[in-house]
Amino acid sequence: MPPSVGLIEQPVGNVAKVLNSGIELNANYNVQMGNLNFSVGANFTTVHNEVVTLYGGIPIGTIEEGYPLFYIKGYQIDGKFQTDEEVANWMTTHNDLLYQNPSIRPGDFYYKDLRGAPGPGDKLFSNKPDGIIDDYDQVYLGKTIPGYYYGFNFGLDIKGFDFSAQFTGVGDVQKVNNVKISLLNLDVEGATHTTDALNYWTPANKNTELPRLIWNDPASNGRFSDFWVENAGYLRLANAQLGYTLPDIGIKNVLNNLRIYVGCSNLFTITNFKGFDPEDEYNPAPLILYFGLNVKL
């Protein structure tokens, strides 16, 4: 953009038309009943994010027409070989270009054949399976922009005591579990592992989500797939505080009110995500406990 615009930093890129749409709802209620004052509020926001147009319709990474910005892309696991016969039967009809044949064994993943190279009339790929597992079979695995945000809060005070709490959350969002990628180590012998690795596939332990563990990972079980992607929706107690205001202690115009309080931030998070933090793994929300004293002069 021209310097006359006045920007210090140029935009990262102007590559697409993007549609954002949704609804926002907010409701609050307050009531007084004798000595009790009570309030409650809630909000709910939906977000539909979609790339509408790209130059020539050509994707740029995970910016692709018809999908949300920066979606998660990879292979989809179709199952896990349990016997040598299953391996042999699958290999007669499929060719996985990442397999180091003939090292495939029971306990290895096999992946969905969803697309193929573009044919006549195709633009980027063919939607017909071609028996080959390659880059064309990397597809949408989830979105990084939540489909909805929500929150609710309430507060009350009675006879000098007051309490307030605020909850926040998001839903319809997926996230890569980088802790799982870093510490499960499907192909590294002698490295640090999580205890989850103890449940790896063996002929005596077939009912597990993990593949076999083997040096150099010949079946490329560690390739990026939906194995590493998890639901990242959550509900978090963002803040809670309890306080007490002492009655007038009689020092008029000096100390009119004296309030003591204790509180916490990020006390707990309810989520199915197994990484550090469903919101930000690199900067997880810390648990904060605090107390204080307010004096009005």
Burial of 6 (0-12, 13-18, 19+ CB in 10 A): exposed
Q: Are 164 and 153 in contact (CB under 8 A)?
A: yes
**What is the rounded CA–CA span in Å between residue 129 and residue 119?**
12
Phi, psi dihedral angles at 178 (to 5 degrees): -70, -25
The mean per-residue pLDDT over the stretch 215-229 comes to 93
Q: How many CA atoms, within 13 angstroms, populate the side-chain half-sphere of residue 42?
A: 1
The mean per-residue pLDDT over the stretch 158-181 comes to 95
Determine what percent of the chain is predicted with pLDDT higher than 70: 95
Nearest 10 degrees: CA dihedral of 7, 9, 15, 17?
-50
Neighbours of 56 (CB within 10 A): 7
pLDDT digits (tens, 9 = 90+) for 116-159: 999 998 888 999 999 999 999 999 999 999 999 999 999 999 99
**What is the rounded CA–CA span in Å between residue 259 and residue 293?**
6
Please tell me which of 98-102, 246-250, 291-295 the model is most confident about, judged by mean pLDDT. Answer: 291-295
The mean per-residue pLDDT over the stretch 199-227 comes to 93
pLDDT at 78 over 90: yes
pLDDT digits (tens, 9 = 90+) for 230-256: 999 999 999 999 999 888 665 555 566
**What is the rounded CA–CA span in Å between residue 52 and residue 17?**
5
**What is the rounded CA–CA span in Å between residue 12 and residue 15?**
9
Mean pLDDT for the chain overall: 91
pLDDT at 112 over 80: yes
pLDDT of residue 11: 74
Q: Which residue has the tokens 């004296």?
A: 258
Phi, psi dihedral angles at 91 (to 5 degrees): -70, -20
Residue 115 CA from chain centroid, whole number: 26
Please give the DSSP secondary-structure letter assigned to residue 158. E
